Structure 1
Amino acid sequence: MDEIRSLKEEIRRAERNPNKTSSQRRKAYERVLQLANSTDVASKKLATDTIKDFFADFPEYQDQAINAVYDLCEDPDRDTRLAGYNAIASLSRTDGKWVVRNADVLVQLLQIDDENEVAVVKQILQQHIDLDATRTFKVLCDQCTFDPDSPHPEEAARLRNLVINFLKERYRPCVSRVVKTDEVWDVLFHGLLKVCCAVGTSSSSSSCALLGCSSSLF
């Protein structure tokens, strides 16, 4: 715990430094990233809470930071996983270029068995729709279409159903309010149209119902 207190003080000093790319801030950030590999829950929590504060200032560490957060999303400790999910949202808000990759990871996380955790993932996916509707819808729709000759068609079909159910569940409170421009509507409408054309299952019926809803907005 002394090490954590020491690092927190180092972070506070670094945050007061007006030079965002100073060696002082870099050193503090490097220590923060190392915490992601710790076995201590408090250390990992500090990492998920703090990575976002340095993320935009050190692009050379962004891949390492993103991968550290993804690893924390698979941590054995539930609270650490939840903190990891929320860290994904923070990083997407900090640097929008990661929206697509992060949204794709969140879609995969819809397969989690714990309903409470899935609810958090859905909230963060909703935040991504609010943040960048066009690119997030493209990720969602791309996950709904897959090659039937793929190595794991059953897993792909299950994921497709989860995505369609998410869109159906969130349509009125979330999706419909952001389908306000031609670009956003085009991505969602044509993405769902591809599903309707490609799939002859109940999930296709759900996607076609969503298709009708989205078309009624224009």
Structure 2
Amino acid sequence: MAYYRGQQQQQQRGRYDPGNGSYPSANPYQQGGQWRDDRNYYGGGRPQQPYAAPPQQQPRGQPQRYTRPSPPPKTPRTEARDILDDVRSSKEQKARAFKVLLDDARATPHSTRSVSSLTSAFPLFASEQQEEVIDFVYDLCEDPDQAVRIQGYRTIVDLSKAVPSWTRRNADVLVQLLQSDSQTELRVIREALVSHIRTDPVAAIEVITEHMARAGEAEDKSADPTTGGMKRLVLDFLKTPDVAKARSEKFVIKSDAEASFNQGVSERMDLGPLRNVFQSKPVFKMLRFAYDTKDARGSGLSHESMRLLKSIKADPSSVQRPTSLLLPV
């Protein structure tokens, strides 16, 4: 049974507007310029959203696991060094490892890595093995290639720093190498000698003064005038600023290095080279470095040097008579 609900106001449609393609009151949600959609009107007057498929859920990827990269394969040189570093290695294993490093360095003397692998393990070798390494490095200093020779000079410094007991012998070889004709090599040799003075000043100075004494006793008359005798080469080396700087750092008052230097200079320098030495102001300062100190040997060296300088100036003929600079101990 239907009840009367009163007069229903029917929604009136306006006239179709061809300009915007819609009825004014047909669908209030329909925008102008759109085609009439009865589905929207009969569906309650609300525009229906176009159908859109639900987004498909992407499969979750598996978490990436970190895998440690495999180490590179060990070379025979690396394995030999590991054996030397391992305290549990036997003598036979260390001997084989030493042979591997030495053969590798001999096969490739131009390779800095091969030579450094051998010299870096120098303190781990036995005395006989160290002797073989020293001979190998000395052979590098006589190689026909200049780059290999320079590498040998610098390797000598590393060996002396690693095992200071070899400083004296290595310094003796470097003093002999001062006769090199190449200025590039001479600069490296002088730097190596200065490094030895800093490492062990007593041993290095004793070796230098011993060479001065041997050169004074038997002067080489046939020496090349461009190169000069050994004594002049040693004196030229002592004039370099690097030696003066190392001396000021290592030759402190009443030290063994100062006493060694004073004794070597006072007992092994004759009047002939002394006149040339005093013509150089840096060397004069070097000889009188202990003039104002209370050390008897250093003060005596300075005063005796001044006395000899005055005698040379007064009587130049006295230079022909070699004598010794003897000072009281």
Normalised by the size of structure 1, how large is the TM-score? Answer: 0.82
1:161 and 1:203 in contact (8 A); partners too: no
2:109 and 2:148 in contact (8 A); partners too: no
| Alignment correspondent of 1:179 | 251
| Alignment correspondent of 1:9 | 78
| Alignment correspondent of 2:122 | 55
User: Rg bigger for which structure?
Assistant: 2
Identity %: 27
**C-alpha displacement of 1:32:** 2.1
Higher fraction of helix: 1
Give the partner amino acid of 1:191.
Answer: G
Q: Counterpart of 1:113 in 2: which secondary structure?
A: coil
| Alignment correspondent of 2:209 | 141
Report the aligned-residue RMSD.
2.8
1:48 and 1:84 in contact (8 A); partners too: no
CA distance 1:70–1:199, change in 2 (3 Å): farther
Q: Which runs of 5+ in 2 are unaligned?
A: 1-73, 296-329
CA distance 1:141–1:158, change in 2 (3 Å): same
Q: Structure 1: how far apart are the matches of 2:260 and 2:206?
A: 6
Q: Structure 1: how far apart are the matches of 2:91 and 2:172?
A: 33
131-140 or 169-178, larger mean C-alpha shift: 169-178
| Alignment correspondent of 1:26 | 95
151-160 or 179-188, larger mean C-alpha shift: 151-160
**C-alpha displacement of 1:16:** 4.9
1:111 and 1:162 in contact (8 A); partners too: yes
Q: Structure 2: how far apart are the matches of 1:145 and 1:87?
A: 28
Q: Structure 2: how far apart are the matches of 1:54 and 1:166?
A: 32
Where relative contact order (Cα < 8 A, 6+ residues apart) is larger, the structure is 1
Give the partner amino acid of 2:258.
Answer: W
**C-alpha displacement of 1:212:** 1.8
Q: Which runs of 5+ in 1 are unaligned?
A: none
Residue 38 of structure 1 pairs with residue 114 of structure 2:
no
Q: Structure 1: how far apart are the matches of 2:76 and 2:221?
A: 47
Q: Structure 1: how far apart are the matches of 2:221 and 2:215?
A: 8
**C-alpha displacement of 1:128:** 0.7
Q: Structure 1: how far apart are the matches of 2:131 and 2:164?
A: 14
CA distance 1:35–1:75, change in 2 (3 Å): farther
| Number of equivalenced pairs | 211
**C-alpha displacement of 1:106:** 0.7
Q: Counterpart of 1:76 in 2: which secondary structure?
A: coil
| Alignment correspondent of 2:195 | 127
100-109 or 85-94, larger mean C-alpha shift: 85-94
CA distance 1:47–1:59, change in 2 (3 Å): farther
Give the partner amino acid of 2:110.
Answer: V
1:189 and 1:215 in contact (8 A); partners too: no
2:77 and 2:101 in contact (8 A); partners too: no
Residue 85 of structure 1 pairs with residue 153 of structure 2:
yes
1:117 is aligned, of 157, 162, 185, to 185
Structure 2 counterparts to residues 155-166 of structure 1, below 5 A: 155=223, 158-166=229-237
Normalised by the size of structure 2, how large is the TM-score? Answer: 0.56
**C-alpha displacement of 1:117:** 1.3
